[in-house]
Amino acid sequence: MENESPVRILLVGPDRYGMRACVRLGLQTTVVWGAASWDQGHIAIPDEVTVIRVDDHTSAESVLMALDRAGLTSSFDAVYSTAEDALVMVGLLAAHLGLPALPPEVAVRFRDKSVQKREVGAAGVATAGSAVVDDVHDVSGITELGFAKAVLKPVAGVATERTSVVSSPADLQRRSEEYRRQGTAQRTFILEDFVRGEEWIADGVLFEGELLFCALGRYGDPCLTAVDTGRPLNYRHFDPDDESWAYDRALPVITASLAALGLRDGIFHMELFHDPGTGALTFGECAARRGGGLMQEVVHAKFNVDLAQCAIQVALGRRPALDVKIRRAVVGGSHLTAGPGLLLDCPTVDQVMARPGVEFARIERPVGGRTPAVAGTDHRIGQFMVAADTADELQQRFAEVWDWFGPQVRIVPEGLTPRELRGLQSTLRPGVRFGDTLWR
């Protein structure tokens, strides 16, 4: 019997767990990798994976030109990406290459928040009212918000970047002037009616329209609250047995929302708002990819489900063989943060892992790099995963790590004068003389 040809898959953009899944499944794997993320250098590349460098892996032109140069324009059985800003392009690319993938019209519903809310609302699912701001650099024509309090954000944004609350046209004008001064590339924004309550999350797997798996959970604070207050983002997933009431309440909303958006195959990360007083759920938004942060790790640790491997199997047209094993512990993830400045030193992964309850950690910001002010949920030094016996103990362990980590981070803060920098030297290097000197 002749050896069968290996199954060939094209990954668009870096994906550490996607690459690992491809290797474990024995796939011949090629990754097109854009310059900006390549320069980050934080994702290890398995020896079995071929990397094709491109200027921009979200650009169809960049990807197609690179594939043509490599003689690979007709060399794949499947294409897949977990890069949010590449999803529509990948749908178009797959159609061009004659490969199965998320259709571009469906990808648009998951990228454009105004289209998403229109489709979900039309299906009878509760969601916030919204209005598109065509150009956030010029809001002179907007004399009323239409809402008592609104959330302003990019129509195709991610990670709560450039997301803020506005309460009046004057607030909106101030934001507009700020973004215009910054010269933001994103200019189409959306105003959404502000929804109060807990922010819930749902991470799941669909195959041929069937919901095979769904892990429901919540953020400790809503993402916007975490960004506004600078408090590290944290989250956990509910236990399907001990907290079955949450699944009973949310699954009908989740399935109706996914049906309205047209997702039949793939992984999703959904956010909803829960009113503890009434029990009502309001659809927030949904991505047709794995959730960010440590969602992959937390779901795997709690449920024994590898979302990345499921995603690759679905991309190949294979039904994932799930072996769900629910762990009794409460498992959650959180961020390691610090103030803005030049990072000189911070605790190591091993030191973080030695803290009570910590089962996994990743330090992402390199020494010598700049730590930005927290203006999005991707702004962090690192991440860690914790297990505990109760939700309260989980929050306690998060707080213990935050309180321990922060004082050990050494940063040269932004905006210091030369005099202040000189004063800082003795703090950073005690016992070393840096002062002015005189000869004789």
With beta carbons less than 8 A apart as the criterion, state whether 175 and 234 touch.
no
N residues, the chain: 440
DSSP classification of residue 77: S
Residues 6+ positions from 57 with CB-CB distance below 8 Å: 12, 13, 32, 33, 34, 37, 63, 83, 86
Q: What percent of the chain has pLDDT over 70?
A: 99
- Residue 399, classed as helix, strand or coil, is helix
Please, are residues 206 and 268 in contact by the beta-carbon 8 Å criterion? yes
**Distance in angstroms (rounded) separating the CA atoms of residues 297 and 305:** 9
Which pLDDT value is given to residue 1?
Answer: 42
**The most confident of 224-228, 371-375, 399-403, by mean pLDDT:** 399-403
Provide the β-strand partners of residue 385. 333, 360
Q: According to the model, what pLDDT value does residue 73 have?
A: 87
pLDDT at 122 over 80: yes
Q: Which residues of 276-309 are buried (b: 16+ CB within 10 A; e: fewer)?
A: eeeeebbbbbbbbbbbbbbbbbbbbbbbebbbbb
Question: What's the mean pLDDT in 164-174?
Answer: 96
**Where residue 3 falls among pLDDT bands split at 50, 70, 90?**
low
* Mean of the per-residue pLDDT values of the chain: 95
Using a 10 angstrom Cβ sphere, with 0-12 exposed, 13-18 middle and 19 or more buried, the burial of residue 115 is middle
Q: What is the pLDDT of residue 152?
A: 96
From 155, 190, 227, select the one nearest 373 (Cα to Cα). Answer: 227
Q: Are strands 210-219 and 164-166 parallel, antiparallel or unpaired?
A: unpaired
The stretch 201-220 carries a mean pLDDT of 98
Across 351-363, average pLDDT: 98
Query: 397 falls in which pLDDT band (50, 70, 90)?
Result: very high
Section 93-101 average pLDDT = 95
pLDDT band (50, 70, 90) for residue 2: low
**Out of 1-5, 78-82, 88-92, least confident range:** 1-5
Q: Looking at per-residue confidence, does 138 or 436 come out higher?
A: 138
Give the pLDDT confidence score for residue 372 in this predicted structure.
81
Task: Please give the average per-residue pLDDT across 366-381, as a whole number.
Answer: 87
Closest by alpha carbon to 155, among 140, 139, 172, 134? 134
The tokens of 429 are what?
């290097």
Q: Report whether pLDDT(47) > 70.
A: yes
